[in-house]
């Protein structure tokens, strides 16, 4: 039975900003003890008055609670309540001490003073004109956001997303959401189509509303691009949209036509590329991806057809000279790689670990440096660029820094109008480069320059859409050298030997030995029970490896996992590893994540403003609760996050194998179980093993390992780059 209850929030025990669920202690007149209130409250603040409707319930562990169904908030009227309210973090920079001083001066009139006579705060010790301006601005902002939150609350939007919506649209928030809630899916990170669709239904939009179906088609194509597809076939796309939207074929066909007419999508007839034409054999692209794929093909063709600026050299003499300079004896295909690099405008060098890719880059750089030409080195991630610099002795930049990305100037500053000043560009870890990034990179390469793309084609493809390195090789349009010979020093590493065995479809050598054996860098601990696998991983990371080998348990050891969910998925592993390696009761709670000082964390989206990118790993160095911000150190650089930005970050004691691309870790621990069946693929296991530099430990089932090694059927990615470059089926 629903009943009414009013009271003042004394403290917040728990709040989940993603869904608004809150546990609060409330002072109710006439009750001696504080009342436990639970429910979806919007950005609750200590000191606020809640007028609630709900029902009483008995929790088996926590006792009596009041479960809130509906509520309204009011600002507090008593001095005690106002002091709690102001000191709770409501106004950034105004903590409990300063709040107490203000209330001591103005008592119950405090909020009225802030609202109408804020200049009078100058009479409070410690408050200057700058503080007054900040307080006035923050007070006005929280009033406006409160109005937005009240509106959004009635339509099922959480406090965290209400804050983001307000930040994006300001006082237009309510009008924007009412007019087209589907804008939220593209404008607000983390909301997505499904949340926007829920809001739209609350606002009365019908299932087959044009704006809904069009947004649904675009959403579906975005989801497919996140699965790696640059385009999707017309008929399968319609079926996907029907499943997601729950509408018939005709509204979807109409929406695709409208989007095509508005140039939000591009449709290509692909019958011309196959022998037997089919009805509706069309490729449907998001316009941006179509522009990028066609742009890559056009830029490569322009590069290949333009004479190079680099002068001709006697290639054979150059090879003999560099052998003497670097005191090395290259294999024949390594010599070919040097020849091709000096003779071709565009070259791909591919090969597995231990085949000498780095040695060849060094040799090419040595020759090119002697020629006094401009050389640039780049890689997709900060870690890969740093490793490239260390290995070659030449400066290497991330592609984003090379192209001078600026959020304030809305994009890459290096492009066809302002190209890079180079004669040769060498790019490492090319398998990581997706369609969009490759397009922007090639746009900035002068037509007279030469490009050398280095990467391991057998690794997982890029996280983003496309399979660019694979398509470059398959197209036949550019010169390709595959390094296959494992060099003698590399053969001493079981990591390298086993990686090549896995890549060849053979089971790695799994010899029994203690993990303290200094002669071994590759171990397999057999265990079929997921719970026991989890306990073994915790023991390895927390004690055994660090104690016996001297590796740092947080910085040097990286757990890689095929899955996000499950007992040995990234989410559960991170929670358990955090408890073991960085325990504590404090921290900032965001959804199912708790962040503490010293935690290992990963950025999960590109943030060009902060210059941190998807996959970057750092350590939390400070949490300032009063300022509502957190500081993370990435490669000796401190980056500050507002609490509202923490959905960009996850714990990184364990990360997915995909997220590990381009990185190298002293120690890799890899769980491998039959419950990962859907993701057990050869290139995934190969990628995980090749991330380890000094030590790789697999924990799991031999059967699961065999399933993965034997499975070379990688998921098809729909892309047409190889066709555009001239490949014939």
What pLDDT digit, counting tens, does each position of 417-426 carry?
Answer: 999 999 999 9
Asked whether the predicted pLDDT for residue 291 surpasses 90, the reply is yes
Beta carbons of 372 and 348 less than 8 angstroms apart: no
Residue 466 — very low, low, confident or very high, per pLDDT cuts 50/70/90? very high
Of 89-93, 382-386, 420-424, 495-499, the range with the lowest mean pLDDT is 89-93
d(CA 621, CA 281): 54
- Asked if pLDDT for residue 313 goes beyond 60, the answer is yes
Please give the mean pLDDT across all residues of the chain: 87
Residue 613: which pLDDT band, with cuts at 50, 70 and 90?
A: confident
- Encoded tokens for 49: 């008055």
How many C-beta neighbours within 10 Å does residue 163 have? Answer: 20
Q: Sort strands 692-700 and 600-603 into parallel, antiparallel or unpaired.
A: unpaired
**Residue in the block written with tokens 């490949």:** 727
201 three-class SS: helix
Ranked by mean pLDDT, which of 289-303, 376-390, 570-584 comes out on top?
289-303
Stretch 349-357: mean pLDDT? 89
pLDDT attached to residue 185: 85
Identify the residue whose tokens are 């016996």.
548
pLDDT at 490: 64
Which ranges of 371-417 would DSSP assign to H, the alpha helix?
A: 382-392, 399-402
Question: What pLDDT, on the 0 to 100 scale, is given for residue 337?
Answer: 92
Q: How far apart are CA 177 and CA 348, in angstroms?
A: 49
Residues 94, 86: Cα–Cα separation, whole Å? 7
pLDDT tens digits, residue range 677-702? 677 889 999 999 999 989 999 999 99
pTM comes to: 0.78
Strand partners, 595: 588
Confidence at residue 311, expressed as pLDDT on a 0 to 100 scale: 82
What's the pLDDT band for 626 if we cut at 50, 70, 90? low
**Alpha-carbon distance 164 to 686, whole Å?**
40
Residue 274 confidence class, pLDDT cut points 50, 70, 90: low
Taking only the tens place, the pLDDT of each residue in 161-190 is 776 787 788 778 888 888 889 988 888 877
The residue among 630, 627, 626 whose CA lies nearest residue 641 is 630
Element (H, E) at 44: none
Q: What pLDDT sits at residue 517?
A: 65
The pLDDT value recorded for residue 720 is 95
The confidence score (pLDDT) of residue 11 equals 86
pLDDT for res 713? 80
Residue 347 DSSP code: E
Q: Which are the contacts of 355, defined by CB distance < 8 A and separation ≥ 6?
A: 483, 484, 485, 486, 487, 490
């Amino acid at each position: 039975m629903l009943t009414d209850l009013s009271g003042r929030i004394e403290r917040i025990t728990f709040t989940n900003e993603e869904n608004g669920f809150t546990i609060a202690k409330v002072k109710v007149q006439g009750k001696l003890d504080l009342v436990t209130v639970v429910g979806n409250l919007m950005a609750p603040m200590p000191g606020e008055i809640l007028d609630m409707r709900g029902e009483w319930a008995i929790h088996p562990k926590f006792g009596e609670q009041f479960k809130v169904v509906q509520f309204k908030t009011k600002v507090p009227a008593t001095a005690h309540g106002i002091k709690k309210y102001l000191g709770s973090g409501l106004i950034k920079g105004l903590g409990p001490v300063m709040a107490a001083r203000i209330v001591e001066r103005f008592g119950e009139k405090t909020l009225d003073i802030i609202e109408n006579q804020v200049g009078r705060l100058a009479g409070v010790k410690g408050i200057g004109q700058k503080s007054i301006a900040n307080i006035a601005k923050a007070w006005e902002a929280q009033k406006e956001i409160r109005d937005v939150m009240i509106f959004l609350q009635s339509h099922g939007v959480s406090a965290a997303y209400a804050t983001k919506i307000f930040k994006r649209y300001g006082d237009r928030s309510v009008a924007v959401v009412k007019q087209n809630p589907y804008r939220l899916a593209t404008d607000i990170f983390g909301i997505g189509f499904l949340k926007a669709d829920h809001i739209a239904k609350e606002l009365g939009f019908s299932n087959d509303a044009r704006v809904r179906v069009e947004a649904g088609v675009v959403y579906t194509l975005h989801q497919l691009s996140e699965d790696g597809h640059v385009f999707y076939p017309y008929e399968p796309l319609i079926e996907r949209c029907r499943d997601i939207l729950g509408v018939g074929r005709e509204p979807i066909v109409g929406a695709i036509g409208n989007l095509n007419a508005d140039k939000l999508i591009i449709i290509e007839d692909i019958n011309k590329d196959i022998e037997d034409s089919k009805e509706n054999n069309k490729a449907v692209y998001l316009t941006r991806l179509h522009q990028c794929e066609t742009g890559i093909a056009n830029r490569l063709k322009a590069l290949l057809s333009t004479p190079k600026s680099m002068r001709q050299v006697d290639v054979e003499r150059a090879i003999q000279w560099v052998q003497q300079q670097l005191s090395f004896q290259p294999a024949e295909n390594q010599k070919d790689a040097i020849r091709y690099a000096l003779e071709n405008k565009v070259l791909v060098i591919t090969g597995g670990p231990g085949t000498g890719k780095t040695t060849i880059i060094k040799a090419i750089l040595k020759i090119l440096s002697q020629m006094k030409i401009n050389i640039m080195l780049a890689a997709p991630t900060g870690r890969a660029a740093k490793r490239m610099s260390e290995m070659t002795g030449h400066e290497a930049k991330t592609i984003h820094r090379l192209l001078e990305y600026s959020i304030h100037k809305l994009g890459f500053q290096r492009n066809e109008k302002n190209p890079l000043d180079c004669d040769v560009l060498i790019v490492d870890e090319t398998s990581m480069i997706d369609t969009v990034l490759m397009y922007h990179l090639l746009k900035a390469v002068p037509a007279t320059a030469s490009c050398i793309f280095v990467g391991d084609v057998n690794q997982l493809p890029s996280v983003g859409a496309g399979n660019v390195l694979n398509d470059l090789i398959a197209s036949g349009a550019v010169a390709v050298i595959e390094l296959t010979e494992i060099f003698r020093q590399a053969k001493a590493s079981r990591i390298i030997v086993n990686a090549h065995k896995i890549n060849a479809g053979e089971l790695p050598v799994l010899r029994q030995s203690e993990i303290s054996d200094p002669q071994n860098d590759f171990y397999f601990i057999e265990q079929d029970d997921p719970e026991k696998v989890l306990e073994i991983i915790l023991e390895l990371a927390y004690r055994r490896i660090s104690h016996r080998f001297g590796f740092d348990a947080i910085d040097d050891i990286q757990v890689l996992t095929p899955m996000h969910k499950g007992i040995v998925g990234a989410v559960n592993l991170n929670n358990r590893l955090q408890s073991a390696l960085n325990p504590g009761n404090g921290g900032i709670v965001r959804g199912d994540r708790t962040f503490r000082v010293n935690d290992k964390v990963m950025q999960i989206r590109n943030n060009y403003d902060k210059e941190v990118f998807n996959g970057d790993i750092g350590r939390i160095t400070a949490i300032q609760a009063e300022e509502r911000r957190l500081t993370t150190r990435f490669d000796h650089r401190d980056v500050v996050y507002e609490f509202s930005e923490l959905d960009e970050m996850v714990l990184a004691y364990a990360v997915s194998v995909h997220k590990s691309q381009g990185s190298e870790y002293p120690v890799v621990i890899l769980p491998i179980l039959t419950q990962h069946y859907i993701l057990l693929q050869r290139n995934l296991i190969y990628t995980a093993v090749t991330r380890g530099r000094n030590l790789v430990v697999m924990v799991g089932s031999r059967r699961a390992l065999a399933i993965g090694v034997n499975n070379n059927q990688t998921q098809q990615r729909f892309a047409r780059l190889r066709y555009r470059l001239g490949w014939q089926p």
